[in-house]
Structure 1
Amino acid sequence: MKYFDNIKGKLVLAIIVVILIVGIAGYTKISMDRKTILLSNKIEEKVLRLVELATVKYNYTNIVEYEDKVQLSGISVPFTNKKFIVKYSGYIKAGIDLSTIEVNVKNKDAVEIKMAKPQIFENVIPEEEVYFYDEKDSIFNKLSFKDLYVVLIQEKEKMKEEVIQKGILNDAEKNGTDIITSLLEGMGFKNIVITFK
């Protein structure tokens, strides 16, 4: 009988201790927070003078499915598959480098302009325009930031080639010619010759 009284006493004591711990935790609102520390150091800072006339901006949105797995003789090795779907938006700007312009004023009505052919100035995918879906990795093949980085670099190059093939540089040349012609006409020139070298 004494043995059971001893067990009951210990059980009651344990219950009281648990109630006290829960009560104190609830009263003081003890919570676990994750603390993130971000260290940022400026390595280099430059202010550059730009002499660019951007005449075309091409906006795009794409979805890419990335999958990577280890294969031996064409057979997929279990637990080595990783994949994600990424949706991203970006833009490409093309135009004329105004530092290459050569101006030859023939008379008060005639002017000849020579400049370098248009080029791509910007090819940008803003971080806030990148969204992930369906992320999965495996024990032996973990997803990493490098996977996303490689995919986005490849996509930027692919989009650059695609818009060049679609004629973005031709559009930049035409728009640049129209803009410069309009400016020169506003200055009183009537005979305007623009050539790209």
Structure 2
Amino acid sequence: MSTVQETGSRRRGGCASVVLGIIALLAIAALALALLRPALFGLGGEKITQREIGASFQQIAELSVEEYVYSNVGTFDQEGFKVVGRTVPFTGRNFLVQYDGSVKAGLRDAEQVKVDVDDAAQSVTVGVPRVEVTENTIDPSTIVVYDQSLNPLNQVKVEDVTEFLEEQEKVAVDKAVNSGLLERAQTRTEELLRSHAEVLIDGTNMAGYRVEVRWV
């Protein structure tokens, strides 16, 4: 009987040793994989597709004459879930974005510019519509997202970044206008149209006519 018990004990001990050996091997393998991960693991190849759903040509006559260029860093921070009026810790989402953009101003439709010649007064009057913002863009190639929260319960979405940047474009327009963008664009437009008109009439029977730019 004692011999049987000893045999059983040796078998159990042998099984335990085998199990411990397997665990040790798995641990060594895991360590090796961790060290070699850059060489053994990676993302699959990218595949980008597109399907055209509409396209057309449209005539425009924009004349942008002044540009406000900016570089900004903005933050987005949402508190997270609330229970009985209290914010649940570690459920918020946030990110920090750096980006470059520009706001341009000038004539939205240059075809609205009208020219009136008065031979009796020897004058050329150029009627010009008021300048306005013609373009407002953030350069996609400059967008860099930093400090993005990694919360599986409340993940940062593409819509968050898109809406954030759209709001920043509106803010940029206000800053540009308040900084004198439209005034500078108006002055520049007047200079360009006057000089262009003077060049056109030079060498003609209207040479020497006074050129006046009038905002309508």
**Could you say which residue in structure 2 is the equivalent of 1:176?**
189
1:79 maps to a residue whose letter is F
Q: CA deviation at 1:113?
A: 1.1
How far is the alpha carbon of 1:38 from its aligned partner? 2.3
Change (3 A) 1:178 1:137: same
Q: Given the alignment, which residue of 103, 107, 125 partners 1:92?
A: 103
Q: Give me the whole-angstrom Cα distance separating, in 2, the residues matched to 1:33 and 1:65.
A: 29
Equivalent pairs: percent with the same residue? Answer: 20
Cα deviation, 1:94-147, whole Å, max 9, x if unaligned, reads 111211111101129410111210111110112101011111132321101001
Q: Evaluate the alpha carbon distance shift between residue 86 and residue 52 of structure 1 in structure 2; reply closer, same or farther with a 3 A threshold.
A: same
Distance of 1:90 and 1:196 partners within structure 2: 29
Of 63, 76, 84, the match for 1:66 = 76
Going from structure 1 to structure 2, the CA distance change for 1:46 and 1:79 (only over 3 Å counts) comes to: same
Closer/same/farther in 2, CA of residues 33 and 168 from structure 1, 3 Å limit: closer
**Which residue does the alignment assign to 1:46?**
56
Q: Tell me, in whole angstroms, the C-alpha distance in 1 between the residues paired with 2:115 and 2:63.
A: 16
TM-score, structure 1 as length reference: 0.79
- Listed as ranges, the gaps of 5+ residues in structure 1 are 19-28
| Distance change (3 Å), C-alpha of 1:33 and 1:72 | closer
Match in the other structure for 2:36 = none
Give distance in 1, aligned partners of 2:170 and 2:40: 51
User: SS in structure 2 opposite 1:49?
Assistant: coil
Flag the 1:74–1:65 CA change in 2: closer, same or farther, 3 A.
Answer: farther
Distance change (3 Å), C-alpha of 1:80 and 1:31:
closer
- 3-state SS of paired residue (1:135): coil
CA contact (8 A) 1:79 1:141 kept: no
Task: Rate the CA distance shift 1:192–1:134 in 2: closer, same or farther, 3 A.
Answer: same
Shift of 1:185: 1.6
| Greater fraction of residues in strand | 1
Alpha-carbon distance change, 32 to 176 in structure 1, aligned in 2, over 3 angstroms: closer
Amino acid at match of 1:41: R
| TM-fit CA distance, 1:190 | 3.8
RMSD of the TM alignment (CA)? Answer: 2.9
Structure 1 residue 153 corresponds to structure 2 residue 166: yes
Distance between the aligned counterparts of 1:42 and 1:61, measured in 2? 33
Structure 1 CA distance for aligned equivalents of residues 99 and 42 of structure 2 = 34
Bigger Rg over Cα: 2
Cα distance in 1 for residues equivalent to 2:135 and 2:174? 13
Per the TM alignment, residue 47 of structure 1 is displaced from its structure 2 partner at its CA by 2.1
Which of 97, 100, 105 is residue 117 of structure 2 equivalent to? 105
1:112-151 residue pairs with structure 2 within 5 A?
112-151=125-164
Relative to the length of structure 2, the TM-score reads 0.72
Distance 1:33 1:152, change over 3 A: closer
Count of aligned pairs: 179
* 3-state SS, counterpart of residue 155 of structure 1: helix
Aligned to 2:46: 36
Aligned match of 1:26:
none
